[in-house]
Amino acid sequence: MVIINSKFLVQNITGVQRFAFNVAIKLAKLKNDNLLFFMPNKKFNYFYENLFKENIPIIKGYTRGIIWEQIELPFFAKRKKAIILNLGNSGPIFYNKNVTIIHDLLWLKYPEAYSKLFTKWYSFMIPRLIKNSLKVITVSQTSKRDIVDHFKIAEDKIAVIYPGVDRSVFKPLNLERENFILWVGSLKFYKNVHGLIEAFKILKQNYKIPYKLTIAGYGVGELRGKIDEKIRDDVDFVDKVKDEILLKLYNRALVFVFPSFYEGFGLPPLEAMACGCPVVVSDTGGLPEVCGDAGIYCNPQDPYDIARAIYEVISSKELRGSLIKKGLERANLFSWEKTAREILNIVKELL
C-alpha cells in the first residue's frame, strides 16, 4: 500500500504544488489499487477539482497542519503498513517508510524569502525526513548536488526525476505574437523580478524598444506603485494566473524571460517552450537542464546582461524562429506521465 501525502490539496499554488497535482493526476489515472490519497481536514483548493473527478479514494483526516502531517498521517500509514509518498518537500519525520521529493534547498540559499519560523522548521525537519526516507527524489542534477553536499548523504539514496509539462494544456494556439515581454512567477526575492524590471528600463532607455513588459502571478499588482514612473505606463500586471490565462499569455508574448537567481528546476520556461514562446533564462541552477540549447542565457546578477539577452531575441525574427522550433522539441522530452511512472517504479521496488 502507498499513501500519497495529499497536503498539497489544501495549499495555494506554487511550482511545488503544481508538481504534486500533476503527478497525482497521472498516478490516479494509472488506476493502481495500491494507491490511497490522504489529506488534512481542511477545504481543498478549487484548483485541484480535476483530481476529484478521477473517482479515486481520497480520505480526509480529522486534523490539519503539523499535527496532521506529523501525527495523524504516520499513524494512519502504520495501520495500513504503507509507504508514504511525500510529493512536496515535507513529510512525517519519525515514520521510517517515506519516499520523499525534495525540490530544492531554497530555504537555505535564500532564507530572507521565507519567515524565520518556516526556515527553522525546515532546518529541523528536512534532515530528519531525509534520514527516515527509504528514497529521496529530486527534480534536477543541480538539486541533487546541493542535497548531497549539504546533508552529506550517499548519492545512490537520491534519484533525479524531471517534472513534466501538460501538452494538452500548454500548446501552440497559432495566435499572433504581440510586442510584449512576459514574466511569470511569485514575488520571492530569488525570482529576481526586480532585476527584470531594471533590465526593461535599460531596454527602454538604451535600445528605445517599443515593447511592454507583462508581469503575471498572484499578488504581483502590489508592484504597480513601485515601478519607476518613466516606464510605469509600459508595465502591465496580471494577478489571475489560471492555466487558460497562462496559455494565452505564453502564446501572445514575443519572448518569455525568467532571470531567477536560482531554481531547482523551473516550470514556467518549460510551459513557455511548449507553447512555442522563445525563452531567456538565467545561466544558473537547474534552468540549463530545463532549456538545454533551446534558450538564450543571461547572468541574473547583471541587469545589463539580462537586457542584452532580451534584445538579442526581440531584435531577430530568425533567432526567434530557431528558438521556437528548438523549444517545442525540447518540451516534448518532458511529460507528467513519464514523471509519475518513474516515481511509481521507485516506490514499487521498495514495497
Cell triple for 1 = 500500500
Cell triple for 4 = 500519497
| pLDDT tens sequence across 125-135 | 999 999 999 99
The domain total for the chain is 2
Which residues, 6 or more positions from 341, have their beta carbon under 8 angstroms from its beta carbon?
Answer: 26, 30
Section 177-191 average pLDDT: 96
* pLDDT higher than threshold 70 for residue 196: yes
From 18-32, 76-90, 147-161, the region with the lowest mean pLDDT: 18-32
- Is 173 contained in some domain? no
| pLDDT tens sequence across 224-268 | 989 999 999 999 999 978 899 999 999 999 999 999 999 999 999
- Is 174 contained in some domain? no
| In a shared domain, residues 312 and 342 | no
| In a shared domain, residues 199 and 75 | no
| In a shared domain, residues 52 and 136 | yes
Which residue range is the domain that position 199 belongs to? 180-331
| In a shared domain, residues 158 and 209 | no
Q: How far apart are CA 35 and CA 38, in angstroms?
A: 10
CATH number at residue 257: 3.40.50.2000
Q: How far apart are CA 276 and CA 269, in angstroms?
A: 11
Place of cell 494538452: 168
pLDDT at 46: 72
* pLDDT higher than threshold 80 for residue 48: no
| In a shared domain, residues 122 and 138 | yes
Q: What is the side-by-side strand order in the sheet with 180-184?
A: 235-238, 212-216, 180-184, 255-258, 279-282, 295-298
Confidence of residue 33 (pLDDT cuts 50, 70, 90): confident
- Is 171 contained in some domain? no
| In a shared domain, residues 216 and 322 | yes
Q: How far apart are CA 182 and CA 253, in angstroms?
A: 6
- Is 191 contained in some domain? yes
pTM of this structure: 0.95
Q: How far apart are CA 309 and CA 255, in angstroms?
A: 11
Q: What is the full DSSP assignment across 31-90? A: T-TTEEEEE-SSPPPGGGHHHHTT---EEE-S--HHHIIIIIHHHHHHHHT-EEEE-SS-
Amino acid at 253: A
